[in-house]
Amino acid sequence: MSAFKLTVFFLIAISAFSLLLISDISLLYGMLLGVLLMLLSYIDIQTFKIPDWLNGIILLVGILYNISIDQLWLPFISFLIAFAFFYSVSIIYTKIKGRQGLGGGDIKLFACGAIWLIPYYLPLVLLISSTSALIYALLSSLYDRKKQDIIPYGPFLALGIWISFLLGESILNFFVIQF
């Protein structure tokens, strides 16, 4: 086993063990989700690939989280909506442009991350991830001047998922009250 995989296993084991010791379940699951999303982001930045095993862990831990809070149907609907939406966007983009725009890992990440959320948070995930990716693309084009054809979308999607998990209710309440 490589040092990287051993480190990943160690971080996941510590996070899982912490779930047994600390009583605030949402906080601990949120921390575990954050660790998994940071790891996923690092891998995607390095390789432009999101491993299926990591998406699988995010899905499995998300299901366990929802079981622990007695909520399963709404996150399952979020999973289906997210997968169907990104898969449809990917198919349409490929037909129009003749090349792949969203990778399969991004589609799976959005779906697996959606299991942590209610359907109302999915547009928020897309807003955060798309806005942050656009800012990154603009800043990197100003800084480097070389045209960058692709950027790894996983880190931006991970950011949107995590912020939506942690602050989704507060953000949506702000917009509902303001408008």
Residue 43 has pLDDT above 60, yes or no: yes
Instruction: Please state which of the ranges 15-19, 86-90, 134-138, 139-143 shows the lowest mean pLDDT.
Output: 15-19
Q: For the whole model, what pTM was predicted?
A: 0.84
CA distances 85 to 57, 79, 104, Å, are 22, 10, 13
Higher local confidence (pLDDT), 147 or 33: 33
Model pLDDT for residues 162-174, shown as the tens digit of each residue = 999 988 988 988 8
pLDDT reported for residue 103: 86
- 126 falls in which pLDDT band (50, 70, 90)? very high
Tell me the residue type at 45.
I
pLDDT reported for residue 27: 79
Model pLDDT for residues 45-67, shown as the tens digit of each residue = 999 999 999 999 999 999 999 99
- Contact by Cβ (8 Å): 114, 122: yes
Q: Give the mean pLDDT of 76-83.
A: 96
Q: Give the mean pLDDT of 67-86.
A: 94
Tell me the percentage of the chain whose pLDDT exceeds 70.
84
Residue 10 has pLDDT above 70, yes or no: no
- Contact by Cβ (8 Å): 97, 141: no
Residue closest to 46 by CA, chosen among 129, 155, 145, 162: 155
Q: Copy the structure tokens of residue 123.
A: 């547009």
Residue closest to 30 by CA, chosen among 162, 122, 155: 162
Q: Give the mean pLDDT of 31-39.
A: 90
- 88 falls in which pLDDT band (50, 70, 90)? very high
